[in-house]
Structure 1
């Protein structure tokens, strides 16, 4: 494989300064760069922007564009809010609880921790409406190998039937049994 890692992932934000402040305060991310131009370098379109880059740890960069001349941000009305999200890995469940407390102190509604069997996660929205997930692994290499082994068959079955294959149903069975 020629790909080494993701260089950065970019999203739109409503306000660059508000976004930098939020991610620093709640997530502990530092601003590592900013680029602003009147024209898009790749397309030469006239579209003033502020492009910010945040350190998401371990060489990962989360970037945002503020586009003041573009129409207001909105979501695809055909995509549920829970689907599109940015997921960050944290060291352990204690780190999840720490960030959950910070998010709640910001007045944010936090869902979770949700037990996905292989990891636990919490969810909340940033100031621009992007759903964030923070996840802490709780699994073993054996469990991950089991999940990887059934993944190709699951994708093939889904492609043929568009019905959820049951190969990895054990991941959420205890979660659904509790409700």
Structure 2
């Protein structure tokens, strides 16, 4: 069984949503990541992580504002995890894992009802 890493929610303005989640819901800011495609704000909600996702460029994987974008699961070996997905016939949304500037690797795939799921491997330390 995998542990849930975070729940991603697409928002129109990540900073505005972050202020709401912090002020109204008592979440604590954990981390902010931004590149040319996306801005991500990670919040701690009583031990659970919420990832606010603001797409900065149009993206074929983009979801509309306010919806849950994906659930991410931590893996220790993303290559082995991808091999298991392929062996099970799971549809991957890319051929290889992406590498973010912070060294994290991730890959998105679809669940049985086409819900987006993610495997993520933390950056090597």
TM-score normalised by L of structure 2: 0.46
The structure with the greater share of residues assigned to helix is: 1
- Relative CO higher for 1 or 2, CA cutoff 8 Å, sep ≥ 6? 2
The structure with the greater share of residues assigned to strand is: 2
Between structure 1 and structure 2, the one with the greater Rg is 1
